[in-house]
Amino acid sequence: MFYTLQGEGAQSGRAAVFCRFSGCNLWSGLERDREKSACPFCDTDFVGVNGPGGGKYSSAKVVADAIKALWPAAITTKQVPYVVFTGGEPLLQLDEALVTELHSVGFEVAVETNGSLEAPKGIDWLCVSPKDQMELKITRGDELKLLYPQQALPPEKFNSLNFKHFFLQPIDNKITDDNIAKTVEYCLLHPQWRISMQIHKILHID
């Protein structure tokens, strides 16, 4: 758990507490399994619980209190405290009880998920990032963020889904510049889609 700025999508630049769950249902997170996974471009370490604020927590209330403690007490504006649940795959662990506890302490709750699992009730901002080799269980939400380009997942496959925002995010790998150029070209030709850049990497923050 850590306090930072959201670096991607429609909420880019917004202050948030990030809560990163360990574990994913699409690959182990181990380098030896990367090339066989549905998302070999994954840039997140979600193995183990030894990161900042990491550990195992006994109840939804304990987790909510830990998240609340990371929101700076000095902030006196009317900005609603914001928490982003991510992973790995957060919906392997996030449940309605935790969402309810966070609402009770004033937080707006966001989730970044691959969309292969049903989401609990009460989530305020739902971002779905589909991956290959999986059934998409969540077909509506606030934003659909597709890593681009993926030969098996053309953007047009998702055009008719019920999302408020559609983002293409260039895959960050050995040919990032080429991926950016292709993403720009696609968004210019298909204005339903907007480009999402990972500004946290540009700013060198978590």
For the residues 160-187, what does the mean pLDDT come to? 96
Catalytic residue list contains 43: yes
CB 170 within 8 A of CB 155: no
> What are 113's strand-pairing partners?
128
The residue from 33, 44, 96, 176 that is catalytic is 44
Domains of the chain (ranges, CATH numbers): 2-203 (3.20.20.70)
With contact defined as beta carbons under 8 Å apart, do 116 and 26 qualify? yes
Question: Catalytic: 24?
Answer: yes
Catalytic choice (8, 18, 107, 167): 18
CA distances for 189 relative to 59, 104, 170, 184, 185, angstroms: 48, 44, 16, 9, 6
Catalytic residue among 19, 42, 127, 187: 42
Q: Which of 33, 43, 96, 206 is catalytic?
A: 43
* Alpha carbon distance 171, 146 (integer Å): 9
What pLDDT digit, counting tens, does each position of 23-56 carry?
999 888 788 887 887 777 777 788 888 888 899 9
Among 24, 113, 127, 187, which one carries the catalytic annotation? 24
Report CA torsion sign: 190, 191, 194, 195: positive
39 is catalytic: yes
pTM of the model as a whole: 0.92
Q: Tens of pLDDT along 126-152?
A: 999 999 889 999 999 999 999 999 999
- Among 39, 101, 166, 183, the one annotated catalytic: 39
Q: Is 200 among the catalytic positions? A: yes
